[in-house]
């Protein structure tokens, strides 16, 4: 990897581990094996590098989710796959953790990738829910946007509960609870019930 790519990757890791406020340019440079001159050749400072790193992280997270939402299988199976996907739970969400950082929230350029990522996720989940309703897999009564908001909030809240407990189980309980709620909203169908187990 070239120096710019290493700096971005290092910033991604350190932002996830420490958050923006506790992430120093020196720590990023050390992890990247790049000097100060190299950093300032490619970026205008810590904020510019952090914004680039946050955008990259948000893009990677969206791509991972889209791989599940756009996969084969029924819409409900795709939602269940998203909820049950493997995650590094105790590290927290690589995007969501920045909602707790006052400096990120105060800077529109740093906050934008976080806000855009969650807006995309809610919209995409709502699309899959609506697809399930159109195909007759999910009852038409629930509002797709409200269901999507609940799913996203469950995942993010699950991270918080798990990190507070120092144990992944609260996250698993939360996401499995969401799976059970989605299943309860499903129109009875043997195919979904068999494949979702």
Its pTM stands at 0.90
| pLDDT tens figures, 26-65 | 999 999 999 888 898 999 999 999 999 999 999 999 999 9
Determine the 3-state secondary structure of 193 from DSSP. Answer: helix
Which phi-psi region, left, alpha or beta, contains residue 88 (left: φ > 0; alpha: ψ -120 to 50)? beta
- pLDDT of 196: 43
The CATH H-level (homologous superfamily) assignment of domain 55-196 is Tetracycline Repressor, domain 2 (1.10.357.10)
- Average pLDDT across the chain, whole number: 93
Residue 195 pLDDT greater than 50, yes or no? no
Task: Report angle CA 19, 53, 5 to the nearest 5 degrees.
Answer: 130
| pLDDT tens figures, 3-13 | 999 999 999 99
Residue 171 pLDDT greater than 80, yes or no? yes
Q: With contact defined as beta carbons under 8 Å apart, do 139 and 189 qualify? A: no
Mean pLDDT over 140-148 rounds to 93
Taking CA atoms, 58 is separated from 16, 132, 156, 168, in Å, by 12, 26, 15, 23
- Exposure letters 158-183 (e unless 16+ CB within 10 A, then b): bbbbbbeeeebebbeebbeebbeebb
Q: What are the residue ranges spanned by the domains of the chain?
A: 55-196
What the block records as the tokens of 194 is 């068999």
């Amino acid at each position: 990897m070239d120096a710019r790519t290493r700096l971005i990757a290092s910033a991604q890791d350190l932002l996830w581990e420490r958050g923006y406020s506790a992430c120093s340019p020196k720590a990023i440079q050390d992890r990247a094996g790049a000097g100060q001159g190299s950093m300032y050749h490619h970026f205008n400072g810590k904020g510019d590098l952090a914004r680039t790193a946050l955008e990259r992280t948000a893009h990677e997270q969206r791509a991972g989710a889209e791989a599940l939402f756009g996969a084969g299988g029924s819409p409900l199976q795709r939602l269940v796959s998203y909820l049950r996907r493997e995650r590094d739970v105790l590290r927290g969400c690589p995007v969501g953790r920045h909602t707790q950082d006052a400096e990120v929230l105060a800077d529109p350029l740093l906050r934008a990738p976080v806000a855009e990522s969650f807006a995309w996720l809610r919209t995409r989940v709502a699309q899959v829910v609506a697809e399930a309703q159109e195909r007759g897999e999910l009852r038409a009564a629930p509002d797709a946007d409200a269901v999507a908001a609940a799913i996203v909030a469950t995942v993010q809240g699950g991270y918080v509960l798990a990190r507070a407990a120092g144990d992944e189980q609260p996250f698993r309980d939360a996401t499995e609870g969401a799976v059970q709620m989605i299943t309860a909203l499903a129109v009875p169908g043997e195919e979904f019930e068999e494949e979702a187990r």
